[in-house]
């Protein structure tokens, strides 16, 4: 593909790490190939992308946009005004930046920006991370040139002729964990002679998962396991105080784990929510996984993400409502059955899409042509 001037690409969306990190990964992969490209990210004011995107080295503009609450809420009265204001600002940003293409990764800001871009005749690409498409992406798909999806069978939501099955782009450092276990055990202060349960509830934390660990932590340690546990920012002080008071020596609670490659390398079994990015990362990691989907997400898409893997015998499902009191027994069923553990690890690895970012770049090239 040839062009005499610098490419200009807008990327919109955010709200959660599951939207932001794929967006940054797409930008990084494109910039590796076309280093002179200018990017402008568009996010929602007050959301985490307004911090994370600049930290990654990219400029971002914020829209005063928010979601429509499913319950009766006074905030819904402001929704039409915020939406109209966001559409006006999105149109202004497009007029000023003059992008060659616009990419939407989901999240509040994605709708106004892609809608405005499509009205201007600018090629748009949607990157749908989940196995169950949201309403905004379904509406935008009618005029999008290409839709990159993370799961097969997405033709029930989108025009089949526009679909490219790429998977979700994830961080590069988890691609190769070979030889990192000893380093990981030293880094986290783990016992090399014990099996390790890695528990992840996201950067903010997952209340049910945290309470399930607290409920079963004595039983987990008595069974000979050690737990490497990311409790999340909202719950760390409470969980840490309970672990400290228990006197248990092999329950390692951390607010946040930055060295995820080492955490995955140390793990024998992983317990996790089933957000799109987590599922994609765990596919590449290739460890036995117990998914505890969050019930507090739109369209229950975490359960649908998890079931896409459970149906392939590539993961175990533990419902959120059952997690407190049943975590240890569910972990036992995997830890103590080597044949089952190996089968789960092998099957989830088969579902990995390690070249997702590169394939999305190729799809974006095609629409700019």
Q: Which two tokens stand for residue 56?
A: 């990654």
Q: Note the pLDDT tens digit of each residue in 166-209.
A: 999 988 888 889 999 999 999 999 999 999 999 998 777 899 99
Statement: residue 254 has pLDDT above 60:
yes
Count of CA atoms in the C-beta half-sphere (13 A) of 200: 25
Nearest alpha-carbon partner for 293 in 308, 282, 305: 305
Output the pLDDT for position 113.
96
Find the mean pLDDT for residues 12-29: 88
pLDDT class of 5 with cuts at 50, 70, 90: low
DSSP letters of 284-351? HHT--EEE---SSSGGGHHHHHHHHHHTTTS-EE--HHHHHHHHHHHHHHHHT-HHHHHHHHHHHHHT
Nearest alpha-carbon partner for 287 in 345, 230, 338: 345
Statement: residue 66 has pLDDT above 70:
no
Angle, helices 320-335/338-350, rounded to nearest 10 degrees:
110
pLDDT class of 81 with cuts at 50, 70, 90: low
The residues, ordered by sequence, that sit 6+ positions from 280 with a Cβ below 8 Å of its Cβ are 129, 150, 167, 168, 170, 352, 353, 356
Output the pLDDT for position 3.
46
Strand partners, 293: none
- Whether residue 130 is annotated as binding a ligand: the answer is yes
**Pair 133, 154: CB distance under 8 Å:** yes
- Whether residue 16 is annotated as binding a ligand: the answer is yes
- Whether residue 281 is annotated as binding a ligand: the answer is yes
Q: Is 15 left (phi over 0), alpha (psi -120 to 50) or beta?
A: left
Global pTM value: 0.87
- Whether residue 258 is annotated as binding a ligand: the answer is no
Torsion of CA 203, 208, 212, 215, to 10 degrees: 110
- Whether residue 133 is annotated as binding a ligand: the answer is no
- 301, burial (CB in 10 Å: exposed 0-12, middle 13-18, buried 19+): buried
- In order of their start, the domains of the chain are 8-168+354-368 (3.40.50.2000), 173-350 (3.40.50.2000)
- Whether residue 18 is annotated as binding a ligand: the answer is yes
- Whether residue 17 is annotated as binding a ligand: the answer is yes
Q: Which run of H or of E encompasses 195?
A: strand 195-200
Statement: residue 292 has pLDDT above 70:
yes
pLDDT class of 70 with cuts at 50, 70, 90: very low
Counting residues of the chain whose pLDDT is more than 70, the rounded percentage is: 94
Q: Note the pLDDT tens digit of each residue in 87-107.
A: 999 999 999 999 999 999 988
Torsion of CA 237, 295, 170, 22, to 10 degrees: -100
Count of CA atoms in the C-beta half-sphere (13 A) of 62: 14
Output the pLDDT for position 222.
98
Statement: residue 69 has pLDDT above 50:
no
- Whether residue 13 is annotated as binding a ligand: the answer is no
Q: What are phi and psi of 102, to 5 degrees?
A: -125, 135
- Whether residue 141 is annotated as binding a ligand: the answer is no
- Whether residue 118 is annotated as binding a ligand: the answer is no
């Amino acid at each position: 593909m040839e062009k005499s001037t610098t490419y200009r690409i807008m990327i919109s969306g955010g709200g959660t790490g599951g939207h932001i990190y794929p967006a940054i990964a797409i930008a990084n992969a494109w910039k590796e190939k076309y280093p002179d490209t200018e990017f402008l990210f568009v996010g929602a004011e007050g959301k985490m992308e307004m911090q994370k995107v600049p930290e990654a080295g990219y400029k971002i503009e914020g829209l005063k946009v928010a979601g429509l609450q499913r319950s009766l809420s006074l905030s819904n009265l402001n929704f039409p005004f915020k939406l109209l204001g966001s559409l006006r600002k999105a149109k202004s940003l497009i007029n000023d930046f003059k992008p060659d293409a616009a990419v939407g990764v989901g999240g509040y800001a994605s709708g106004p920006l892609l809608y405005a871009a499509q009205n201007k005749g600018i090629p748009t690409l949607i990157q749908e991370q989940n196995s169950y498409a949201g309403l905004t992406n379904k509406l935008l798909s009618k005029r999008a040139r290409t839709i990159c999806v993370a799961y097969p069978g997405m033709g029930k939501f989108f025009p089949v002729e526009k679909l490219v099955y790429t998977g979700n782009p994830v961080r590069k450092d988890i691609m190769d964990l070979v030889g990192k276990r000893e380093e990981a055990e030293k880094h986290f202060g783990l016992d090399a002679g014990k099996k390790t349960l890695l528990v992840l509830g996201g950067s903010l934390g997952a209340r049910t998962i945290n309470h399930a660990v607290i409920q079963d932590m004595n039983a987990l340690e008595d069974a000979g396991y050690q737990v490497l546990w990311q409790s999340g920012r909202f719950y760390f002080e409470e969980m840490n105080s309970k672990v400290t008071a228990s006197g248990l020596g092999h329950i390692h609670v951390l607010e946040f784990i930055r060295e995820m490659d080492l955490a995955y390398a140390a793990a024998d079994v992983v317990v996790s929510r089933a957000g799109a990015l987590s599922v994609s990362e765990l596919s590449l990691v290739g460890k036995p996984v117990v998914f505890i989907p969050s019930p507090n997400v739109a369209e229950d898409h975490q359960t649908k993400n998890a079931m896409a893997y459970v149906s392939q015998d590539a993961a175990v499902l533990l419902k959120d409502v059952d997690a407190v009191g049943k975590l240890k027994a569910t972990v036992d069923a995997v830890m103590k059955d080597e044949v089952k553990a190996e089968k789960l690890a092998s099957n989830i690895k088969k579902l990995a899409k390690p070249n997702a970012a590169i394939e999305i770049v190729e799809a974006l090239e095609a629409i700019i042509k």
